[in-house]
Copies of this chain bind each other. A is one copy, B any other.
Amino acid sequence: MKPTAIATGLTALPASLRVTWNDGTAGEFASIWLRDNLPEDRDAHSGQRLVDVMDIPAEPRIQSARLQADTVTINWQGEARPASIPLAWLHQCATGDRGRPELQVRRWLEAAGLAPQRDFAVLSYAELGGAASARLDWLTRLLQDGIAFLRGVPQREHAILEACAHIGYVPETNYGRVFDVRAVPQPENLAYSDRGLGLHTDNPYREPVPGFQALHTLLAAPDGGDSLFADGFALAEHLRATAPEAFRILSQTPVPFLYQSAGADLYAERPLIELSCTGAFTAVNYNNRAIRSLRLPVPECEAFYAAYRAFAALLREPKFQMATRLEDGDLVIFDNRRVLHGRSGFASARHPRHLQGCYLTRDSVYSMTAVLRRQLSSGSRA
């Protein structure tokens, strides 16, 4: 564990506070921000803030501040009550360390040379239910890489739910909690056929798009039916670097997606490349089976198709795809908003390939990881 940095300098202005530490860290904090983040305005039990931004002065001003052992004490102009703010917390804010290594995305563009066992997190089913540290490591790498594998999951129906109980929550959708991926006559979804499926993300017509997808191989096909994976964020970044206009169009054009069956009618509009308000990647949505007819004036329509093809061409390049064979009892889980998946075709008449799949809510997997880390960390301190 790192030694605690010691605060060595303090500069108080009316509108801000500057603190320096002996490890070289320096932080400047606006008075309004300090006033809004006082520990005494948080509920002691839940940690939730008890005041609204309208309950504090619009422009709080610092009268004086002084360093103490573990806190900095602030006197506010026009307020009787001084505030004590923990220095350790200010140090953490100043370094920007959120203490969540799982948020550090590790991209993998050239995927053809990658193999699950060597390049991604692989755990046996027994290990998943065993030591918490192995599970935390596996979960953290799942979130960083967007994909991870389990081996030896029991080959019985719904064993996938037993495995996912260690990973997150499985929501119910029109496909049920668990769906069977095998070739059936007249499938409602082409996934339930023996066709090869190009790289895609699942259910872009859904809101929310499933956060994670798990697929459990109950019975592998003796030949064909191999699985393909690619990192959509790495591919989108590659498109941004090599074809910026295509990237711009795909991130700014909402595309309609539709799925209809007897019991469901799902419609959503979203761009193929979804960005956050700061331009970070939020999701890649790519599913040629479900993309609906986009209506645009002819010139924009032609520009969209050119961009769409540029992205589709990347997705077809073998060098960007990891091909791997899922054996009986293997389970793969991946971030369905980031990692594209596909499969080669197989002969369903001769081979009864059977996978079961389910989705997991995004936050539940991140929460499971953070809770596990907190438990391990408090255990190691005890």
Contact = CB atoms under 8 A, between A and B. Distances in A.
Contact of A366 (B51, B207, B308, B316): B207
Interface string A250-290: 01111000001101111110010011111000000000111
Contacts of A37: 293
A53 interface: yes
Contact of A277 (B264, B275, B288, B306): B275
A53 to B, nearest CB: 5
A366 B293 contact: no
Interface string A26-57: 00111011001100000101111111111000
Contact of A295 (B96, B100, B173, B297): B96
A93 interface: yes
A105 interface: no
B173 A309 contact: no
Q: Copies of this chain, how many?
A: 2
Interface stretch (A116-124, A145-153, A185-193, A318-326): A185-193
Nearest to A300: B30
B277 A252 contact: yes
A260 B100 CA distance: 14
A12 B165 CA distance: 58
Contacts of A36: 305
A66 interface: no
> What 6 A-B pairs come out closest when comparing CB atoms?
A265-B370, A208-B208, A48-B289, A30-B301, A171-B171, A207-B362
Interface of A: 15-16, 28-30, 32-33, 36-37, 43, 45-54, 58, 93, 96, 98, 100, 169, 171-174, 186-190, 198, 205-208, 211, 251-254, 260-261, 263-268, 271, 274-278, 288-291, 293-298, 301-302, 305-306, 308-309, 312-313, 316, 361-364, 366-367, 370-371, 374
9 contacts: A28-B298, A45-B188, A48-B289, A49-B290, A53-B308, A173-B361, A207-B366, A252-B277, A274-B277
